[in-house]
A and B are shown apart, each in its own frame.
Chain A
Amino acid sequence: MSESAASPPVPAGDPHASGGRWALRGSRAALKSVQGVVLFASFVGFGGLIRDIGFPLGAAVLSTLLVWALPAQVLLAGGYAAGNAAPVIALAVGLSSVRLFPMAAAILPYLRSSRRGIGVQFLAAHFVAVTAWIEGMRRLPNVAVEGRLPFFFGLSATLVLSSMIATAMGFYLAGLLPRALAIGLLFLTPLSFLIQLSHNARDLVDRLALAFGLALAPLFAAIGGRLDLLWTGLVGGGAAWAVHRFMRRRRKGGGQ
């Protein structure tokens, strides 16, 4: 509310033309990135999976657009195939997607715009998923402030669109691919997540969070329950942050 009253600053140059150019740059970044290629292949794998379990192609493509989170989509299609009730599936999907909250919260401050309302923020948040997040967190700090929002929309819309195409491709390719290759596509998700995450780890605190998450996950999985991913995130991430705070305070208060 305060935004419209908070004075619309006179933008230098033509904001529309430059916005379009930034969107195009984002789109090009998506097409040229290794992450984009990996995502495409992962959704080809998803397309093959849903054909395997008898989930309709149209609904799967719709889920790529609306859900836009591969692990949740796999749960959804798997739950459908297993004949689970809708509330059970919704609960599983909701629990598996808690990570979207911290991811969106971490990237949204880069995507603020004084000229646009909060509706645009909700749209930007919808596009947050692992690949768009990883690429966005890596590139946005180097993008001029006024270009960040259009850059992100160009990047993520291109990723969504190509993933929708990939879903359909995988559906039609299923059965044609040798089994070993199909398994290779399924493995792309964990393999690429890990390497991209560590590629993105800017500071010690990010590396610690990554290492703690990897180390704690089997522990919490062994303890069981549906919330093991969430506990791993909270405990592992919290511990990494605590170390970061401790070292910071020591540096500041050096010597005492």
Chain B
Amino acid sequence: MTLLDGALWPYLLVILAGFLPTEIWRSLAVVFVRGLKEDSEVLVLVRCVATALLAAVVARLVLLPPGELLAVPLAVRIGAVAGGFLVYLAARRSVFIGILFGELVIIGGAWYFA
């Protein structure tokens, strides 16, 4: 318990509860892909799972955000991310313009509601 109050504890925590549990997945990947070809079908599946997982992270952060973002109503959060995406498509797939538009909506919403 004394460690918990120590100034070094957060640094230890970064290594034990941050670095190790993330690095293990990256290291497993190194072992997993040995001998697999670049165009192997297994890697297409793996890419699909990675993409769907990231999409789930997006949905989670919009629907059930941590902290301050909750101050902005759900409809505005969905509107900002959907609007940003549609503007990205309309602006000939400009990532910058899409993100800019989504940010304007959320900042406007935060300014008005929060």
Contacts and interface: CB of A to CB of B under 8 A. Distances in A.
B58 A106 contact: no
Given A210-B55, A214-B55, A238-B45, A180 B111 contact: yes
Contacts of B22: 67-69, 72, 93-94, 97, 100
A101 B110 contact: no
Contacts of A63: 14, 18-19
A89 interface: yes
Interface in B73-105: 77, 80-81, 84-85, 88, 93, 95-96, 98-99, 102-103
A49 B44 CA distance: 36
Chain B interface bracket (under 10, 10 to 19, 20 to 34, 35 or more): 35 or more
B45 A179 contact: no
Interface in A80-119: 80, 86-87, 89-91, 93-94, 97-106, 108-110, 118
Interface of A: 34-35, 38, 49, 52, 55-56, 58-59, 62-63, 66-69, 71-74, 76, 78-80, 86-87, 89-91, 93-94, 97-106, 108-110, 118, 121-122, 125-126, 128, 130, 133, 178-184, 186-199, 201, 205-206, 208-214, 216-218, 220-221, 228-230, 232-238, 240-241, 244-245
